């Protein structure tokens, strides 16, 4: 009987310790998963530095967001922008699906080749979105090679030509 009581007390103490530290345990697990698979933001900045390029972070919802679809058609899929992006940008798109999952695409192999679990893509997108205060989509953020924001376009009211000019001139 004493053994059962001792085991019960130990189990309750263990459960209380786990419950008290659940947030920090999950944070450590998330940090470990991110470090094992790579960090989108740091990888994009490293690629920008090595290629002497700017970074474009695009937050969108192509399945459900009409302005995102317009921005994608008018700017992102425009032939002039595609050439400009290839030559001048490390382009990273965070596309949030209806079910909350996130696709991360990039024109840079270093970012494209990151092997991220589904929950890591959501966590990294959310972290970067929070870092830059992104509240709506579409939102394109241009960073210099050191990670300083130098231009932001929210919404779809811009042509590819104007967008390219603004990005080229952003300092």
Provide the pLDDT for residue 33: 40
Evaluate whether 154 touches 138 at the Cβ level (below 8 Å).
Answer: yes
Provide the pLDDT for residue 165: 98
| Closest CA relative to residue 137, chosen from 77, 58, 80, 34 | 58
Evaluate whether 158 touches 75 at the Cβ level (below 8 Å).
Answer: yes
Tens-digit pLDDT string for the chain (171 aa): 555 454 555 444 455 555 555 555 444 444 444 343 469 999 999 999 999 999 999 999 999 999 999 999 999 999 999 999 999 999 999 999 999 999 999 999 999 888 888 889 999 999 999 999 999 999 999 999 999 999 999 999 999 999 999 999 999
Q: Tell me the domain boundaries of the chain.
A: 1-37, 38-169
List the structure tokens of 34. 């991110």
Q: Could you write out the DSSP letters of every residue in 59-112?
A: EE-TTT-HHHHHHIIIIIT-HHHHHHHHHHEEEEEEEE-TTS-EEEEESSHHHH
Distance separating alpha carbons of residues 164 and 35, to the nearest angstrom:
34
Distance separating alpha carbons of residues 164 and 171, to the nearest angstrom:
13
What CATH number does the domain located at 38-169 have?
3.40.30.10
pTM of the prediction? 0.78
């Amino acid at each position: 009987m004493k053994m059962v009581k001792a085991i019960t007390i130990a189990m309750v103490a263990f459960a209380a310790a786990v419950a008290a530290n659940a947030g920090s345990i999950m944070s450590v697990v998330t940090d470990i998963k991110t470090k094992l698979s790579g960090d989108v933001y740091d990888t994009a900045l490293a690629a920008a530095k090595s290629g002497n390029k700017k970074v474009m972070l695009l937050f969108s919802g192509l399945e459900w967001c009409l302005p995102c679809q317009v921005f994608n058609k008018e700017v992102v899929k425009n032939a002039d922008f595609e050439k400009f992006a290839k030559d001048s940008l490390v382009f990273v798109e965070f596309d949030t699906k209806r079910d909350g999952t996130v696709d991360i695409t990039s024109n840079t192999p270093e970012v494209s080749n990151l092997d991220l679990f589904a929950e890591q893509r959501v966590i990294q997108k959310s972290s970067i979105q929070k870092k830059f205060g992104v509240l709506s989509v579409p939102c394109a953020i241009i960073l210099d090679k050191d990670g300083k924001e130098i231009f932001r376009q929210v919404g779809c009211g811009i042509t590819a030509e104007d967008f390219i000019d603004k990005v080229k001139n952003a300092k």
